[in-house]
Structure 1
Amino acid sequence: MSYDYEGPQASTRLAVEFLTVWMEQNRQAAVEHIVSVLDSEGGPERDFAIAGLLNLGHFLVIQVAKANGAVGAEELTEAAHEYLAYLSVHLPDEP
């Protein structure tokens, strides 16, 4: 597979790929795939992948805020922060 390693959309797309593989529940296969992408010749830097995962997390937590009725940038940000604070205390053992 070919990757374009430029910009936040590209890093977020990589994060979507990694999360999609991870969600298939075969964690060993997911780890092997992720490592093979990161270690491939010309592959992305680790910080690029981490930035993509953070972009994806940010996007998803804003979607949660929207689904819970938040509107406007300030309210969305506040609701997202509240949700993350809640998760930090009430994080389930299994996703």
Structure 2
Amino acid sequence: MTSDYTDPQGATRLAIEFLSLWIEPDRQAAATHIKEALDASTGPNPEFSAIAGLLNLSQFLLAEVVKANGASSAEDYDRLAREYLSRMSINLP
């Protein structure tokens, strides 16, 4: 794999690829693939690009969660998103 993932769409597609692999039972294989993909990247700062893509994907998924929990305006979205993230942080082991 020798793609440049510095563009937002490419970075988000890479994040979807990584997450799709990560939810499979063999996380070691996923980790190996992720490392190989980052090592093969021809773009600058592939790790930064991967993180940005994962944040983009997280933002999309968070939007779906807060919409499902009743967000109907920008204010609702911001409030519910922050509340959800706060609850997640508190409830982590």
TM-score by length of 1: 0.86
Gaps of 5+ in 1: none
Structure with higher RCO (Cα < 8 A, 6+ apart) = 2
1: CA distance between counterparts of 2:22 and 2:70? Answer: 29
Identity, % of aligned positions: 51
Structure 1 runs of 4+ with >6 Å offset: none
Q: Which moved more, 1:43-52 or 1:62-71?
A: 43-52
Partner of 2:22: 22
2: CA distance between counterparts of 1:22 and 1:71? Answer: 31
1: CA distance between counterparts of 2:16 and 2:41? Answer: 21
1: CA distance between counterparts of 2:5 and 2:15? Answer: 12
Query: Which runs of structure 2 are paired with 1:1-95 in the superposition (5 Å)?
Result: 1=1, 3-40=3-40, 42=42, 45-91=46-92
Q: Tell me by how many angstroms 1:5 deviates.
A: 2.4
Task: Give the secondary-structure state (helix, strand or coil) at the position aligned to 2:70.
Answer: coil
TM-score by length of 2: 0.87
Conserved in 2, the CA contact under 8 Å of 1:62 and 1:77? no
Conserved in 2, the CA contact under 8 Å of 1:66 and 1:76? yes
Gaps of 5+ in 2: none
2: CA distance between counterparts of 1:48 and 1:9? Answer: 10
One-letter code of the match for 1:78? Answer: R
TM-superposition CA deviations, 1:28-48 (whole Å, max 9, x none): 000000000000152661100
